[in-house]
Amino acid sequence: MILHALYRLASQEGLMSDPDYELKPVAWLVRVDKGGRFLGIEGTHHLPEAKGRQKPRPIAKVFPVPRQPARTSGDRAFFLCDKAEYVLGLEPASPDGKPRPKSKLAARSLLFRDQVKQCLDATGDEGVRAVSALLEAVSDGKLKITLPEGCAANDLFAFIYAPDKDRLIHEREKVRTYWKAQRQLEANVGGAEYRCLVTGESVGAVGNFPLLKRIPGGTSSGVALVSFNSRAFESHGWSGNDNAPISREAAEACATALNRLAHPAFPDPRPANRGQTLSRRNFVISGDTIVCFWASDKRADSFLDQFPFLMLGDDPGKVGDLYRSVWKGKPVKLDDSSAFYALTISGTQGRAIVRDWFESSVAEVANNLTQHFTDLAIARNTPPPKGQELLPVIPLRALLGSLAPFGKSDQIPDAMATQFTHAALRGTPYPFAILQRAIERTRAEIGKNDWADLERRDARAALLKAVLNRRYRHSPADFKEVTAMLDSTNTNPGYLLGRLMAVLERLQQVAINDVNASVIDRYFGSASATPKAVFTRLLKNARHHARKAKDDERTAGTARWLDGLIDDIAAAFDAKHNGFPAYLVLEQQGLFVLGYHHQRHWLWLSKEERERHAA
């Protein structure tokens, strides 16, 4: 199904309108005149639009170039468009300071010249003749060419025949016809031995699946989506990719479609839109995992354009008014039954890992996202940045990053990030492992109070609420659904004890303005797991704090109010006889954190805000 959907996407967006050519950035154009006269090398670079404070880097212009399989091991020259070491036998400055031997460069340039000669012999094209003459002059030492300043090792060079003005030589009619014939000969090698799993057509020899670029975690040369590199993956006597016969046409279409999805700004293949880019169709969920998404119909483009910003939540300016309501839990009325696809993929050494494959409809995904943000809605203790407002939702980056040690967001397991994203799209329970991880990180970081920590606390509280509420809806549970704000009617022991902990903390702050180790620093972990062993002592200490605070006119009123709150919450337990539960199960520990979070938020509200909330 994945390959079928990718194949249809390639057709839908015209990515394979010319299957023998593909769009690639060509950094340098070698201009040559009749007889091979060298006219110079010109760059195609331009500065993209700046995004944020980061200064943009120059990027090369994109051109259609002959489509060819990726290099693996050994030397292989590309046809009329390649790197400097193949085209001119010259190597840009090596980053490691170890240039290749001259014999190696000479061998590579010979491979390139041989391809040009073969094309010249077959076509007699005057542009190819000029290139051939130029390359021979360079090889014989009659012409010395210096690489332009700033040339990188992977920069591509192509040729322009001066009378053609700006048309690349590999786009001349005779050359195009020659190249298409060469590609057809390669496709017919091996006869018709297999049937393509994607198109159902007869397939000759099954080649390697084209490499995918820009897959996080993969190598710079690319990774394969379909590959067999061990006998454990082979069967019925077949070897290599014969185990999954896919025609070259289908493989190239699928790879092109996935490369388009993984690219942040893939060039528009339509000639009329040359120089423009296609809309973004991906977002990153961890250090080496990316979610690529698309739909079966162009009418879904409006939703797809908003989708990554809806999911990430960190750039509200990119989300239109229609879809901003999703963040507020208000469903968008989309009568769109178009199929929606999401492929979660990571890269390793040489191959891609498909972590998740999701199929649904656009309308269903929009509704599920509405519920997703409703479940994540939580009272925020994070103050807005100076002169700014808080983002309307907690960004996906912050949600997942809050589960990792501070400053180490890449330590979130890819499987957990994948499962969380799948549950958001499908509307199913979130992974239960998030509950345990959020509790562990809360205990580990509970003593911090800077802005970044408050943001992480809010994110973990949102995750705990979402996990518990979906667990409540999808399976029997002995706790009620958790609200976004403080719920005075929630009598679950874990929730009440969390509220009690927040009041005890606030009372200590009122009584002792500057304390080295607060009640939270010392007791939060044990109180949230084994309350019976902790809370009797905490309540005794609270009486001392209350008496001290009541002796000061500035804090007496607040102390009486907090003391009364403690009595109200503790009344649910037989506090005099240590009637607190001996332990809390994992769900109750999560409710403990939420009770603490809600009560802490409520305590810092103004009197008017508390009265509004109570109403």
- On the question of pLDDT at 502 being above 60, the answer is yes
pLDDT over 80 at 85, yes or no: yes
Note whether 423 and 534 are same-domain residues: no
* pLDDT level of residue 227 (50, 70, 90 thresholds): confident
What was the pLDDT predicted at 296?
93
Does any domain span residue 393? Answer: yes
Rounded to an integer, the average pLDDT of 404-420 is 86
pLDDT score for 355? 94
Could you report the per-residue pLDDT of 191-219, keeping only the tens digit for each? 557 888 888 887 877 778 888 988 988 88
Average pLDDT of the segment spanning 272-293: 89
Lowest-confidence range among 85-94, 118-127, 172-181?
85-94
- Within this chain, do residues 456 and 486 fall inside the same structural domain, yes or no? no
SS3 sequence of 507-572: HHHHHCCCCCCCHHHHHHHHHHHCHHHCHHHHHHHHHHHHHHHHCCCCCHHHHHHHHHHHHHHHCC
Least reliable range by pLDDT among 205-219, 222-236, 247-261, 567-581:
222-236
Confidence of residue 489 (pLDDT cuts 50, 70, 90): very high
Any domain includes 198: yes
Residue 270 has pLDDT above 70, yes or no: yes
d(CA 67, CA 79): 9
Same-domain status, 521 and 595: yes
In eight-state DSSP terms, residue 210 is: P
pLDDT tens by residue, 51-70: 666 777 888 999 999 998 88
User: Following CA atoms 263, 269, 275, 276 in sequence, which dihedral angle do they give, to the nearest 10 degrees?
Assistant: -60
Residue 321 — pLDDT band, cuts 50, 70, 90?
A: low
In the predicted model, what is the mean pLDDT of residues 250-278? 89
pLDDT of residue 466: 96
Please, are residues 405 and 440 in contact by the beta-carbon 8 Å criterion? no
Beta bridge partners of residue 217, listed in sequence order:
none
Of 435, 462, 489, the residue at which a domain comes to its end is 462
Q: Is 282 exposed, middle or buried (0-12, 13-18, 19+ CB in 10 A)?
A: buried
Phi then psi for residue 349, to 5 deg, are -70, 100
Is position 274 within any domain? no
Task: Give the dihedral of Cα atoms 193, 178, 212, 318; nearest 10 deg.
Answer: -130
Total domain count, the chain: 3
Position 478 pLDDT exceeds 80: no
Tell me, yes or no, whether 516 and 414 share the same domain.
no
pLDDT at 97: 63
Instruction: Give the per-residue pLDDT at 210.
Output: 87
Q: For residue 270, tell me if it sits in a domain.
A: no
Q: Is the pLDDT of residue 234 over 70?
A: no
- Residue 91 and residue 208 in one domain: yes
| 269 belongs to a structural domain | no
pLDDT per position as a tens digit, 428-459: 999 999 999 999 999 998 877 777 788 899 99
Query: What are the backbone angles phi and psi of residue 7, rounded to the nearest 5°?
Result: -60, -40
Q: Residues 79, 223: one domain?
A: yes
> Given this model, what pLDDT does residue 322 score?
64
Whether residues 303 and 253 share a domain: the answer is: no
Please tell me the distance from the alpha carbon of residue 110 to that of residue 107, in angstroms, as a whole number: 5
Same domain, 239 and 352: no
Q: Are residues 455 and 483 in the same domain?
A: no
For residue 229, the model assigns a pLDDT of 66
Give the domain extent around 407. 282-462
Please say which residue of 229, 262, 295 terminates a domain: 262
pLDDT value at position 232? 61
Residue 142 domain-assigned (yes or no): yes
Do 508 and 450 lie in one domain? The reply is no
Q: What's the pLDDT tens digit per position in 93-119?
A: 766 667 778 889 999 999 999 999 999
Which pair of structure tokens corresponds to residue 549?
């605070």
Look at residue 613 and tell me whether its pLDDT is greater than 80.
no
Q: Are residues 137 and 163 both part of a single domain? A: yes
- Region 18-23: mean pLDDT is 92
Residue 121 sits in the same domain as residue 196: yes
Assigned domain for 267 exists: no
User: What are 517-575's pLDDT values in tens digits?
Assistant: 788 989 999 999 999 999 989 998 888 888 888 887 788 888 899 999 999 999 888 86
Res 161 pLDDT > 70: yes
Above pLDDT 70, what percent of the chain?
Answer: 93
Tell which of 199, 227, 262 closes a domain: 262
